Structure 1
């Protein structure tokens, strides 16, 4: 099918020339295949603005959120722009098109005492795995890392974390940033470094490894964190991004420095970080409701 071959060529160029991550390429591929499916027998060169509007309407009616549709439109817009550069379409039918609005959902963060309970070591029988899991959780919470960023860390991050109190991580769009590592996280990493050799293969460079001695995958990191939360007696599902949200929210509550939080999170725009000011306001509103005489019934 001509449309799918064009999609494959576009994705190959993204991967080779624009240094997009495999995760981003996979997402683009899924979004563009959806476009081809919606177009059906209609050639991409004949897709116009009213067609794209209809596609969006169909997806929105199926329950797809405005945020998800915005991501789809971004992928489609880039693809049609590329097709235009190759004279395969007369114009970009996605240009100027906006996704439907959807309600904003605030990030789901742990309370400070919940974070403390999560990071309090629990005797689970295997001290090596426990040391590894606590080190991962402490690093998530201490430095606000994304799941992919933590999974990609190599052992050279240990020296920087333990001796300089910071590590370099490769974030979205292949951007490198420097993030701090707190004292508790450094202690946990030092404890893991002492026992890592009992799991890691002789040539393995990954900082966090599984029982087979190889780099720990993202899915397993998620499962281990969820298990750790259960052992700590937390009643809700805890995932790596919740610890990133907790890091941002708690640092902002303490410092009020939005720009510093933006830099540590690796957000390209301050708008992405500003959502935590709403989360912080919710926290303050709860304190007000419980403490102010005029707020009490």
Structure 2
């Protein structure tokens, strides 16, 4: 029996790729010099897409894959997959929730600590000789005992809040409704009001049309010149132009970001700022988590082609 033909939207680690190539006829669109010609040639027989959260699968691509049955997303976010097209054609979609939750929360808290205590600049202060030549490093701000806001108390937001408790922080959150498991946290429905009462605002909600630019110019201004914005969700949740304006003018004190519009080609305005910590979208980037994510992608594909229930279905 011929192997099912699958389309890979981006590179996968070798530990995933070997297994995928053993099970399927793998077509790597990211290696094609002419994607349109590549889809014209291979698209009619593609039955599955393996993609990453930021790459997704567009309506135009889905339209050109008449035999497509399933899209398996390597990541928790699936906002870049055209779900309307999938629902219209009965195409299944899966993602990889839970397995990356704790690593993403870890990085968010680490970014807060690193930026608040100026650790990147402090290392340069040592290595470039400034410590010996100029003396003590400029004073930074403490973390413990301050006020934190969590915008989106889902899996990742809840794990962030758990970690923040260890710093004796006053924690509040916003979500679509008050959460029964949020003991010891204050519910603040309005994101502007949440930002206003926060020293650190963590953005941890899933991206959708409803959440696009939910961190608006007003939210950013409410966080204020002593506040810090930490984004470990999706770039679309933040009005990036408003953020850049606020960081440049001092309306916002600082930011720590793992995601960007148009990444990896981020807006060059970020590179001119000294009050933002930039990370290369690697919140889930540990060996352990990436292996678990890849396994879940492969397990969902295997379940589909075996006619078994999907493990982590989105639709």
TM-score calculated relative to the size of structure 1? 0.26
TM-score calculated relative to the size of structure 2? 0.25
Q: State which structure, 1 or 2, has the greater radius of gyration over its C-alpha atoms.
A: 1
